Structure 1
């Protein structure tokens, strides 16, 4: 039941207590508003108790529930700016639509408009996935009588009905060693170049680190005995905090580190802006006449493939790359038929080498036994 109380300030507070629900309260300027609020909330709670769902309150829009969802999930922690930017864009697009009136027609028009803007299918799918989180929040946490799968259904139609690819284009632009060499040559005559891009490119190739990780490394986090470094706040699919990770540095990467430190005992190892590194790489690629739109991040794909070609196993490569599951890591592997033949040949070579060593050891043992037998005579 609801209780209506006049506060010392002159305002009126409505407090509703219903078994099975958290208490709900609100403060209003007049008693009539407090009574109307209490009546509506009691009706909603009764509807939820009877059916499990309730109709969306009058006047509540998609924008209202996007804000409600963000407040619900943040709980003292800030979302990444990229996520907030997408939710802001969704509010501009769908904000004025009543939450219970949002339909497949709205989402289909959204997909087609984004398609005409030249936006990739994977980006559109990501936008709809975030809208889907809001709708599920409305259904599961606010008990609204809406379709929680609406945005998911639209997302699944992107490939079939709208003829857009929803897989990342990253896997198609792995740079070859010849392309990387051509890109590095663009810096040969640039005496005033502030970023040592050839070294940064090589370091990325020997570590598989992202440009933000490379530019965030500090000298204080190096372990010279173990030849390792700590990557602070490493990207994680679910956890946003406490993601520091100790990563080994292979000999070529460690050599680059030592050149960059050059006697310094503190500070950033690579004191560059990550965005500047990415921009510089793209300009050098264009200057080299490379048509494929390979980006600095694509070096990561080649590095991971190279690690597997070296013979590192999945856990070892995952430690280098920071991936937490094989399903994600395998997107970065680009094994070719020739790689399999090379690996098979290496295995056979090692087997032949081991067999030769065993044969030699057997012969040596036999010769020693013969010598000992002679000496005893």
Structure 2
């Protein structure tokens, strides 16, 4: 049976029933408390009662903090995901995890699209959706995923930025004035198609003859990358380090210096990731097939690989004769 207690002008209801923890609720009048208690006891009797008190009391900001401690820190993408968690906490953190509705997420989506790309917002929503999956499956919270029935943002149009041989040469030249290791990094990026993190993680032990062996990549598997003559020359130009690594640079160092090298070279709009894009396109222009290029670059999604590929029409014309 429920019991009721008047406290500071409101009524608090207590429901104690075998098989359930004590359920409480606070109401303006005793009549409201009694109606609520009657409904809860009826649901309990029919085994239909679901206790949402824990989920009602858990703010999304706190849920995201727990997700970061238990899930995110174990991901390779933690560094990038941490900023995404911060944005979600800032914009949605005041909601209780049980109270966030699809309409709230749709509003967040539309407002976020004013300052971020469709691809970025898709990743935001995928992270929020996974939070709800973990909350339901691992934390035992009775919550519905508010992301499940909203329209995902459209993907960005594929970037068609190419870095010509002349542009790369100019960037390499000016990179030397900013950081001694940056020219070799740029050359390796455009010759191998490796990601920034993969390049910065290379050690001398990873280089065996004409091949770089990557024991662990972004996608979780290992990969071998053939090294062109220019790539091997770039590696040989780097001084030997006591820790065995090829580069001493931190990712933030590349983020800081590469755009400056591009600007000094007199160009605009070329990003470091465009060098991977350029390498991928050049592999196709050299005659490698789709599966060969995927083996080199590590792309798991062949559709994504096609998005990176913008073949040079002049090269195609030369092959036609």
Instruction: Give TM-score, length-normalised by structure 2.
Output: 0.72
Consecutive unaligned residues in structure 1, runs of 5 or more: 1-31, 160-165, 346-377
1:249 maps onto 2:227 in alignment: yes
| Distance change (3 Å), C-alpha of 1:184 and 1:204 | same
Distance in 1 between residues matched to 2:67 and 2:211, nearest whole Å:
41
Deviation, structure 1 residue 200:
2.6
State the Cα RMSD in Å: 3.7
- Alignment correspondent of 2:129: 132
- Alignment correspondent of 2:107: 109
SS in structure 1 at match of 2:224: strand
1:218-245 Cα shifts (integer Å, max 9, x gaps): 1123223xx2222243111xx3xxx443
Deviation, structure 1 residue 255:
2.4
- Alignment correspondent of 2:187: 202
1:264-315 Cα shifts (integer Å, max 9, x gaps): 7972223333332332220121223323x21111111111111111112233
1:214 maps onto 2:199 in alignment: yes
1:333 maps onto 2:309 in alignment: yes
- Alignment correspondent of 2:88: 90
Deviation, structure 1 residue 336:
4.7
Distance in 2 between residues matched to 1:265 and 1:63, nearest whole Å:
43
Verify the 8 A CA contact 2:175 2:258 in the aligned structure 1: no
| Distance change (3 Å), C-alpha of 1:140 and 1:249 | same
Aligned residues: 286
Deviation, structure 1 residue 73:
4.7
Instruction: Pick the aligned partner of 2:212 from 189, 206, 229.
Output: 229
| Distance change (3 Å), C-alpha of 1:108 and 1:77 | closer
- Map 1:1-377; keep pairs closer than 5 Å: 38-39=21-22, 54=50, 56-57=52-53, 58-66=56-64, 73=71, 77=74, 80-116=78-114, 118-138=115-135, 142=140, 144=142, 146=144, 148=145, 150-156=146-152, 158-159=153-154, 166-167=155-156, 171-187=159-175, 190=177, 193-224=178-209, 227-236=210-219, 239=220, 243-260=221-238, 267-291=244-268, 293-345=269-321
Select the structure that is richer in helix.
1
Q: Which has the higher contact order (CA 8 A, sep 6+)?
A: 2
Verify the 8 A CA contact 1:204 1:299 in the aligned structure 2: yes
